[in-house]
Structure 1
């Protein structure tokens, strides 16, 4: 549980760094550095131990498609964070676990317990409260966050499907190189004449380390304890995101936004605890 708390803190730190950088540099450059560093870290620290097992896979095109989903999700997240506060953006994205649960029945043959439908409805209601008309959030930013939730849903469904035949480290490596290629090619024209301040370069590198460390800590956590125990702790991400957003940008969620975030948190934790009891 401590590892998951540390992982969600790393992700929230990466979210805050992304928001800061997205207001100063092209998003494709930021993401190219993030994914390239992720790939480099895997090659430097994991390849010497595993060799070719690092990228060994049984279902190549599905694995690459999953990497593409995460790359597009990273893009929409960065663009959404440029337009909206960190806390509200992350809260909208946490619509994804509810959709994953509801789609697990038709796509993966995993039945949904009756009570979880009620909790899922409350989670959806929480998102609607946050994105309500007149709430002050940028409409295009909300759209990007909702697209991100859809991409994250596809990514997690593919992860659950592929986890039956692929290793965790192989899935991690393939998402890293796919993002590196996509954003590296896209960012190449933008690099001409681009000047990056020394501090901002450190933040870019720190962004890559933060997300890489978050994935590593999650892997270590799920190796040490069952998912049913750890799933409720994932919602600490909302707390970290809101707190860091206030600390670095002075963003204070309104009463309705806090209520919506609370509903999402409570509903998600309730569903996770229900799975644990089962």
Structure 2
């Protein structure tokens, strides 16, 4: 059908047809990217070329021009409450599990703060294949000094997976993010690559959590499953008393002295 359109009326109509009906040119796999969304107009565009999105149960996700971090545009995701989920899926990258790169972006939220999740998706057509790497609690309503976040990606992420940001629909906030970058980890030397991450144990836990190595950690934050901050501990010790928590799933986020973060899901039994 497309070939016949091209022969009959030429490339302009073919281009229109591909845009209107969502047909994309072949997208190359890249080893880095930097996207500020400024070549995409609000609100007609949804996500950049070679990105994807999933929207469930009436959630909203568009390109927005509401005071972006830079330039003229940014990503907007809102869920309007429970179950209204949106997932923005980044382009295919060749080195997702190499341990040499990091993801960096800037985020803000209205309505008293919001909650997103950074992770990866193994099937861009199936929202249930999204895996959380780190929860993102957003308290700032403008792009300020706290808006930039940097995430490392573990080498256990499967090859072929794609980085993604999910709004799980746990708040009514409008979530905005901009200046998304997949880049080499600065000053990554041999020693950095072989240094093991601190171990958090036992998991499931009961009364006390142990953190094996805290010398490079500035603070620790505990979130519940909806992203609400339960506790923040500055200058943590190797043992973290948590016997007052209810049974269930939580996220423990370690904030390192170099500005990076690491989040792990933990279970209170």
Which has the larger Rg?
2
Fold match by TM threshold 0.5: no
Higher relative contact order structure (alpha carbons within 8 Å, sequence separation ≥ 6): 1
Which of the pair is proportionally richer in strand? Answer: 2
Give the alignment's TM-score, normalised by structure 2: 0.23
Structure with the largest fraction of helix? 1
Compute the TM-score of the two structures, normalised by the length of structure 1.
0.22
